[in-house]
Amino acid sequence: MTRDGESAPDRVAGVVEAVRSSRKYATVAEGVVRRLAAKALRDGTSPRGAQRAVRGKLHQVYAAYLAPGDLGRAERLLAALPERPAPEELAQAARRILARHASSAERLAFQEGLLARLLSAGGFAGPLRSVVDLGCGFHPLTLPWMGLPPETEYRAFDIDTRLAALVARFLRLSGRGGLAAAWDLLSPPPEEALGADLALLWKTLPLLEQQERGAGLKLLRGLPARWWIVSFPARSLGGREKGMREHYDRLARDLARLLRRPLRRLDLPNETFYILAPAE
């Protein structure tokens, strides 16, 4: 019990309820908020201070990339489509949605064929039967430009339950096999995330490291995938470079060394991609 007579689990539950009562964070997976709340309270923060700390962390790793009204606009665009939209109709809606997300908007100019280019640069040897997209955001909506075979299964995971539902609807509209679900990447992986031919972790690893040092290595070791493509931002959201390519290059090469995986690098204007081949 704490000095005010409230148990530690009750204090965590109170912080979680307060944070998720706001519209901004209501659909963030409860496990993510609970983990952040427990850490803030363990660090000696008061419940009110813990609420501020959790909201600040969630803004840093999630809300800064997606404005509050953008999910609603995306939902309305997909809801307006027929159950079997023409490919061009679906692609047009996807492009409008992608333009609203900070990371996805940066890739619009070169998203066509990007995945194939990355696989070729890494010397990928197929077949590509399944893709797992971690911390996916709106990235699965680039499926019309990925060039994946129709039979490739696509599984997407994000910390926002509402976003995951939107991605699941897009997969159904596209006729693509797979799923979308909420998952805290710092918790043990669900069975659906295991055993993919290719795992994508685009601009997400720095956000994990901000929450827990070594989280990226832990995730890559704990989630078996034949190939990985990891990316890092080359500029901040404000457009500053600040030596980010060099910093993340060291991190990527350390990961590849510890995992004993061959590494290839591909630079694009706002992002650096690393393709990790199967372990030697």
The predicted-structure confidence for 112-127, as pLDDT tens digits, reads as follows 999 999 999 999 988 8
For residue 200, the surrounding DSSP H or E stretch is strand 196-202
DSSP label at 99?
T
pTM beyond 0.75, yes or no: yes
Measured between alpha carbons, how far is 260 from 110 in angstroms, rounded to an integer?
30
Sequence-separated (6 or more) residues with CB below 8 Å from residue 273: 118, 202, 229, 230, 231, 265, 266, 267
CB neighbour list of residue 107: distance below 8 Å, 6 or more residues apart: 98, 114, 142, 268, 270, 271
Render pLDDT for 207-221 as a digit per residue (tens, 0 to 9): 999 999 999 999 999
Please report which helix (H) or strand (E) contains residue 72, including its range: helix 70-79
**What does the pLDDT read at residue 225?**
94
Output the average pLDDT for the chain: 90
Write down the pLDDT at residue 236: 62
How confident is the model at residue 237, as a pLDDT?
A: 58
For the chain, residues with pLDDT lower than 70 are 1-7, 236-241
Residue 196: C-alpha distances to residues 184, 209, 210, 228, 229 (Å): 18, 23, 26, 10, 12
E strand or H helix at 252, and its extent?
Answer: helix 244-259
d(CA 69, CA 38): 29
Question: How high is the pLDDT of residue 1?
Answer: 46
Of 233, 231, 104, the closest CA to residue 166 belongs to 104
In Å, what is the CA distance from 245 to each residue of 237, 250, 258? 14, 9, 20
Pairing mode of beta strands 225-233, 271-276: antiparallel
pLDDT at residue 62 in the model? 85
Residue 48: predicted pLDDT? 92
71-126 confidence digits (pLDDT tens)? 899 999 999 999 999 999 999 999 999 987 777 888 888 889 999 999 999 999 88
